[in-house]
Copies of this chain bind each other. A is one copy, B any other.
């Protein structure tokens, strides 16, 4: 190629798959959205990155891993008053049922490039963990037992008060 020629490198042109996949996809449930995380792959392996207050829409105060969950078990079953959460299946797969008090959806998390953002006052239940599943949860607040709403009827009262 001669000097002065301007050719757009292939790597810069967005792939059709990228064009059709927006970085943030809402779900039918208010407060629950799917976030696609940038992936950088080469012969040395793959890297998926997420920065606080960018791909992850809050500052990260806490993180936890959930694993060794027997498949029939159900976890979660609560909402938070103020805490945001961001869920990534870092290994294996699991399902999350999200519920805003009006609508309910089930989301299968099965890749490391997808984060599920749960805003406060989103009821969530996790189940159908694969035997090798490892769930990473990033949270906007330190642990506070008073932030948990564990009673579904109380949750419904709170979200009806919101609207």
Residues of A in contact with B (beta carbons under 8 Å apart): 41, 43-52, 54, 56, 59-70, 73-75, 88, 90-91, 112, 129, 132, 134, 136, 138, 142-143
- Indicate if the CB atoms of B51 and A61 lie closer than 8 Å: yes
Report the separation of the CA atoms of residues A142 and B52 in the bound assembly, to the nearest whole angstrom: 8
- Indicate if the CB atoms of A90 and B51 lie closer than 8 Å: no
Could you tell me the distance in whole angstroms from the C-beta of A41 to the nearest C-beta in chain B? 7
- Indicate if the CB atoms of B45 and A129 lie closer than 8 Å: yes
Report the separation of the CA atoms of residues A65 and B58 in the bound assembly, to the nearest whole angstrom: 19
Name the one of B44, B52, B134 contacting A69, with C-beta atoms under 8 angstroms. B44
Residues of the B chain whose Cβ atoms lie less than 8 Å from the Cβ of A47: 64-66
- Indicate if the CB atoms of A51 and B136 lie closer than 8 Å: no
- Indicate if the CB atoms of B48 and A52 lie closer than 8 Å: no
Report the separation of the CA atoms of residues A138 and B143 in the bound assembly, to the nearest whole angstrom: 19
Report the separation of the CA atoms of residues A48 and B66 in the bound assembly, to the nearest whole angstrom: 7
Residues of the B chain whose Cβ atoms lie less than 8 Å from the Cβ of A45: 66-70, 73, 75, 129
Residues of the B chain whose Cβ atoms lie less than 8 Å from the Cβ of A44: 69-70, 73-75
